[in-house]
Amino acid sequence: MKILAIESSCDETAAAVVEDGRDVLSNVVSTQIEKHKIFGGVVPEIASRLHTENISWVVQKALADANCTLDDIDAIGVTYAPGLIGALLVGVNYAKGLALASGKPLVPVHHLRSHIAANYITHKDLKPPFMCLVVSGGNTLLCKVNDYTDFEVIGRTRDDAAGEAMDKAARTLGLPYPGGVNLDKISKDGDNTKYQFPKPRVDGCPLDFSFSGLKTSVINLVHNAEQKGEEVNPADVGASFINGVVNCLCENTEKAMEMTKAKTLVLAGGVSANSVLRSRMETLANKKGWTLYLPDLSLCGDNAAMVGAQGYFEFLKGQRATMALNGKATADISVDYEE
């Protein structure tokens, strides 16, 4: 079956046609990066307006690239949560309009579930159950994926997400938005032992993360140096900071794998594009004998192909939305959509 999927949770307007949850017939992403760059981050109101301007042609192009018309589509999948509420509403309302006009079923899709589903496209053999580390701009969590639509969170960040911390570190070093990817690039030749960042622990919750202390310490490091008129090498700061974040991610993931006796590990979300995280997880997986699945780099960031993949499994489970569908800024990954 073919799903037309729509994604507008943050700063990418995206649409795709995906067949049977695994085969991408088209994948169109209109990024707003250039428009937000001068502000150093995503401006929600601008994001919503740009989604409104772009959604029609993005959806039309996704259909055309897949050599389809709406008649060939079996269901419409859309990201309804979590994300920027004004941005989500553009995709949700557009999808509702298409569903109403065409009489096709409307399938609500959770954004983080889709990030995980990007791996079903990359790895045709991947099936739950597995452990997943979800590392995106707004979320960091460890969850047991018991089935395609059954998620159990066993660790989560108590404050900032790993991506948020990466973006703040990049901004402090004067790197342009989007910070995480630029931090990754400039840190490649840096000395990752030059600076020691704190290794936060959450008392009594060994699988939970905390990145706000790391974020504050990189800001303090750079600002203190500036006040003293000292120079810091951005590559060394970046490499040391990424090392600090990756240490936390790897340590908790290792504990989660051991505690649950899982043997298959999957990474998902924008930060799973980070080169250090990917290679450190590969080394760890080899040492521990785990099977590791990493999403294709082209599917780590926000896109609608992953929404079409997860939408397929939500459809099979019977998940449907009516015209009452609303966007939600926050929603737990483990809770199914309900009207």
Contact assessment for residue 123 and residue 293, using Cβ atoms and an 8 Å cutoff: yes
CB of 163 to ligand KG4, least distance (A): 3
Q: What angle, 0 to 180 degrees and rounded to 10, lies between the N-to-C axes of helices 234-260 and 179-186?
A: 110
Q: How far is the CB of 167 from ligand KG4 (least distance, A)?
A: 5
Give Cα separations from 124 to 18, 85, 115, 167 (angstroms): 13, 33, 15, 32
| Closest to 301 (Cα-Cα) out of 27, 20, 18 | 27
Region at 303 (left for phi over 0; alpha for psi -120 to 50; beta for the rest): beta
The least distance separating ligand KG4 from the CB of residue 323, rounded to whole angstroms, comes to: 26
Residue 67: CB minimum distance to ligand KG4, A: 28
Please identify, using beta-carbon distances, which residue of 43 and 316 lies nearer to ligand KG4.
43
**Residue 4 or 42 having the CB closest to ligand KG4:** 42
- Residue (51 or 111) nearer to ligand KG4, CB: 111
Give whichever of 77 and 180 is closer to ligand KG4, judged by the CB atom: 180
Relative to beta strand 140-147, strand 150-156 is: antiparallel
Q: For the CB of residue 164, give the shortest distance to ligand KG4 in the complex, in Å.
A: 6
Core vs surface per residue 65-89: b (16+ CB within 10 A) or e: bbebeeeebebbbbbbbbbbbbbbb
Closest residue by Cα to residue 7 from 113, 102, 79, 101: 79
| Nearer to ligand KG4 among residue 13 and residue 274 (C-beta) | 274
Residue 34, judged by CB atoms within 10 A of its CB (0-12, 13-18, 19+), counts as exposed
User: What length does the chain have?
Assistant: 339
Minimum Å gap between C-beta 271 and ligand KG4 is 4
Q: Select 77 or 137, whichever has its Cβ closest to ligand KG4.
A: 137
Smallest distance from the beta carbon of 216 to ligand KG4, in angstroms? 17
Q: Examine residue 108 and say whether the peptide bond preceding it is cis (omega within 30 degrees of 0).
A: no
Residues that bind ligand KG4 (CB under 6 A): 10, 111, 115, 136-138, 163, 166-167, 178-181, 184, 269-271, 273-274, 301-302
What does DSSP say about strands 291-293 and 130-135: parallel, antiparallel, or unpaired?
unpaired
Q: How far is the CB of 303 from ligand KG4 (least distance, A)?
A: 9
Q: Which is nearer to ligand KG4, 8 or 63 (CB)?
A: 8
Nearer to ligand KG4, 48 or 99 (CB): 48
